[in-house]
Structure formats: C-alpha cells, structure tokens
Amino acid sequence: MKARLTRRWHKLTGSMTNRIFLLLAAGVVLSILLTLELARREEQQSMQQLRAQHDTERVAQFMHLLNGIPAEVRPKIVTSSGHVGLRATLGGDATVRGDDDRALMASLRARLPADVQVMHASAQERCVRFPRSSDDRPFGPRPEDGFGPQEGRPDPGPGGINTGNPGPQTEIPCMRVDLQLSDATPVHIAIGSAFGGPPPFGPFAAGRPFPVHLLVFFALIAALAWVAARMVISPLRRLSRAASELGADIERQPLREEGPWEIRRAIAAFNTMQAQIRVHIQQRVFMLAAIAHDLQTPLTRIRLRLEKVENPELRAQLLNDLAAMQQLVREGLDFARSTTADHMQNLDLDSLLETVCIDAADAGQDVTLRNRSGVAIRANPASLQRCMTNLIDNAIKYGDVAIVSTERRGRLVDIRIEDHGPGLPDDYLDKVFEPFYRMESSRSRETGGVGLGLAIARNIVQRHGGNIRLENTGHGMVAIVQLPLAAA
C-alpha cells in the first residue's frame, strides 16, 4: 500500500506542470487559512473589547442605581439583577478571586460615582455554573436567572455562584467585580461570558454553514495557478518536442526565440547547437564524398593494370580485393549520407514496397509481398527504398527468403521482413545495428558485407521518426520497422 502511494505521488509530481500547480495551490490555501485566522483573531479581539465596554457600562449603571436607593430596597433590586444580564449579591466575601485587571478597574472607576470603591475586577475562567440539561439557556437577562431560590435550580451562593449539586453542571467564563457602596456595603457582581474563549472556528464549526465563497475563491485561484503553470511549461514542452524532432530532421526550422528571457536563452542555445551539428554532419559527408571521389581514379587505374596480370589466379584474388575496397568506400559514403536529412513528402507505402519487391524478384531473389496496408507515410522515397532493400538483402543472405507484410497500429504502421534463417542470440539483437559489426560465425554461410547495411537502415528509419528492431520467431528472424503515418 505504501509503495503504491509512493508511486502515485512520484507520478503526480513527476510533471513540472503538476509541481508548479501544487506549489501555487498550496501557497494559496495556506494564505487563505492564515488570512482567516488573523481575521478571526481580530474579530475576537474587537468583540471582546465591545463586550468589555458594554459589561462595564451595565455594571456602572447598576451601581448608580444601588448607590442611590435606600438600603432596605437594595435586596429586591439585587434579586432581580438577572433582568439586566448580571448576578449580584450583597455582603459577604468573594469566594472566587483572581488577579486584578487594572485596565478594567480604571474603566469602572471612570464611570462609577466617586464614593463607590472598586475593590477587585478580573475575568474568571469558570465562575457561573449551570446544570447541563435540556433546559440550559445562555446567561442573560431572564427572570429565572436571579439569585433567589428558583424551582428546578439550586440556590446560588455568594457572588452568584451555585453551591448546590443537582446533577451534572457546566461552568461558563465571566467577569467578576467586587465593589463597595458609599455606605461600605460590599457588592459582588458576576457578568457571564464577558471574556469567554474564542468562538468555534472553521468551516465545519457548529452553527456555521460551509463558506461557499471560499470554495469559489479557491477554484478561481486554482484555475489561475493551472494557467500560470501551463504558461511556464509550454516553452519547455516546445523545446523538448524540438529536441525529439532534431534526431529525425536536422534541417528543421529553428525555434522562434520568444517567452521569458531564461527560455529565450535556452532556445537560442538549442538553435546554435542545431546549426553546429548540421555543419559538422555536412563537413563529414563532404569529406567522405571527396575521399570516395578521389579514390575512384586510382582504383580504376589499379583495375586496368590488374587486368594485365598474366597469372589468372592472382588476378582474380587482386580483383576481389579491389572490389571489396570499392564496396567499402561506397557503403561508407552511403552510411554518412544516411545520417543527413532528406526532403520528405507524402508517399504511398504499398507502391514503394511493391517496387522494392519487384526489383528484388527481378534480381533473382525469393521475395513475397503478402498484403497491402493502404496507408501513406511522410518519407523520402530514395532513402526508404534503400532501407527496405538493405533489409531484404539481409533476409535473403541469411535466411534464403524474404516475406514482406504490413500492419497498421493506430497512427503507426509496422513493416515486417521475415526470413527462414537460423536467427540470432538475444544478446546480439541490438549489437548488429552497430557500424561494422558482423556475425558471420553464427549466421552466415559465406562472407557477408562490411557490416553497414543494418546501421544504414537504422539511421534512415530514425530520420523518418520511426524505430527498427529484430526478433527471433522460432523459424527465422523478423525485422520490424515502425513508421508514423502521414498527417491527414
């Protein structure tokens, strides 16, 4: 399972387009989450400040009321303090006390009468308890939330804190304030949820529907990231395609130097390399052609002089050596030419194969053309005819017969040339395509050529954008040439 996931991940990240897209998409998602978190914190801070100001104002108004009424009326006012969203008790000491909040105390002193003393003010983590039951309600200005005895709820203790234990309970945060009226009467006030923790955050938080606008935003950013990745990779793909085509056509048009300056520099380097390779190949062909041309005259003179040799056996041996030398020169020149680009044109494959087979049959070779493919290819007639001739000659030389057939495979066509020879060991199926490589010890009944026939055929096929391979069939050898079809 782990290995399969690893392979899938490598396949996903193997493309430069996917890497850039994933990088941009991940950056966008992290930016969105960071922005939402900062906005949430800012909102929470603002809400806490507003709540603190609101609660401070309520405490100040309530204390103005208590301080301005007779002492015997104050218990009734305190009992109904739940109506204004707070809980208050008179007298006694606070049972819960935290560190003083100096900012809160200064804010209260600024709003309270001068003769009312602020003894303590702080935010408590847990100070107001409610039973956890189906009738739980948020802390607020309800009549049933007073400090007096109520049906179904325990009596609150000092400071508005429930001291009973009717069952499972929950505690909520609150602001605790201890004050002293002008007549030195202690007053303890608790205001629930004033400094509570942050609200649930996230797209799946309770009570929050999934933000569709975030999905739309991410979809738009992802689309832009994909377009950006394609724009970056497109020139590289064009360069890669040109590099693949270079092997088949060294004379192809240079790439246009466009795009970012890094891409333009890479394209310029590629065009320079193509021009240098073209010049190098041309110089090699010219050199070999000059050598072959210059050798013709002395070789001809040698042949004329050998004809005057009186010893027939010696004359025959020397003429054979001379013929081998001339053949070596011709095939060396053909091999050099097979690496150069040719003029391509749309060509009917059946007509070319029929011509090659007829020529071979006229030369006394056992050649059979089995079927017709009815396809057209983009090729140079002379070069491809030379390639097919070399393969048929090879089949006749080592397998006595040559059976030619074709088979279409999508946008490709296979040309098969079979023989009835002894075949080759699997280790040598690729080596025989190397220049000057010969296998007479295992295949030939007589001395073969110079070892360039298959090398020339492979160069021609590769120049046409195809590939060639040899396979053992059990009753002989088959050469398979695969070429692309011409564009419609």
Is the pLDDT at 117 greater than 60? The verdict is: yes
Res 318: pLDDT: 84
Of residues 419 and 105, the one with the higher pLDDT is 419
Res 407: pLDDT: 92
pLDDT interval class at 355 (50, 70, 90): very high
Provide the percentage of residues in the chain whose pLDDT is more than 90: 12
DSSP per-residue letters across 327-368? HHHHHHHHHHHHTS----EEEEHHHHHHHHHHHHHHTT-EEE
Is the pLDDT at 392 greater than 90? The verdict is: yes
Res 441: pLDDT: 47
Res 203: pLDDT: 45
- Pairing relationship of beta strands 401-409 and 366-369 according to DSSP bridges: parallel
Integer Cα distance of 363 and 402 in angstroms = 13
Q: Which of 74, 57, 83, 68 is nearest to 175 (CA)?
A: 57
pTM value?
A: 0.45
Provide the percentage of residues in the chain whose pLDDT is more than 70: 75
Integer Cα distance of 165 and 270 in angstroms = 85
Res 417: pLDDT: 94
Is the pLDDT at 66 greater than 80? The verdict is: yes
Res 232: pLDDT: 74
Integer Cα distance of 479 and 40 in angstroms = 72
**DSSP code at position 475:** S
Structure tokens at 28: 């966008």
pLDDT interval class at 182 (50, 70, 90): confident
Integer Cα distance of 228 and 23 in angstroms = 11
Structure tokens at 116: 């009312």
Q: Give the three-state DSSP class for 180.
A: strand
Is the pLDDT at 127 greater than 80? The verdict is: no
Q: Is residue 232 a contact partner of residue 20, using CB atoms and an 8 Å limit?
A: yes
Which residue spans within 43-185 are E strands per DSSP? Answer: 87-90, 117-131, 169-180
**Low-confidence winner among 73-82, 157-166, 187-196 (lowest mean pLDDT):** 157-166
Q: Is residue 377 a contact partner of residue 347, using CB atoms and an 8 Å limit?
A: yes
Of residues 14 and 287, the one with the higher pLDDT is 287
**Low-confidence winner among 84-93, 151-160, 209-218, 362-371 (lowest mean pLDDT):** 151-160
Average pLDDT of the segment spanning 381-408: 90
Burial 4-34 (b: 16+ CB within 10 A, else e): eeeeeeeeeeeeeeeebbeebbeebeeeeee
| Beta bridge pairs of residue 469 | 480
Res 144: pLDDT: 39
pLDDT interval class at 482 (50, 70, 90): very high
Average pLDDT of the segment spanning 72-96: 77
Average pLDDT of the segment spanning 47-73: 84
Is the pLDDT at 53 greater than 60? The verdict is: yes
Mean confidence (pLDDT) of the chain = 76
Of residues 160 and 46, the one with the higher pLDDT is 46
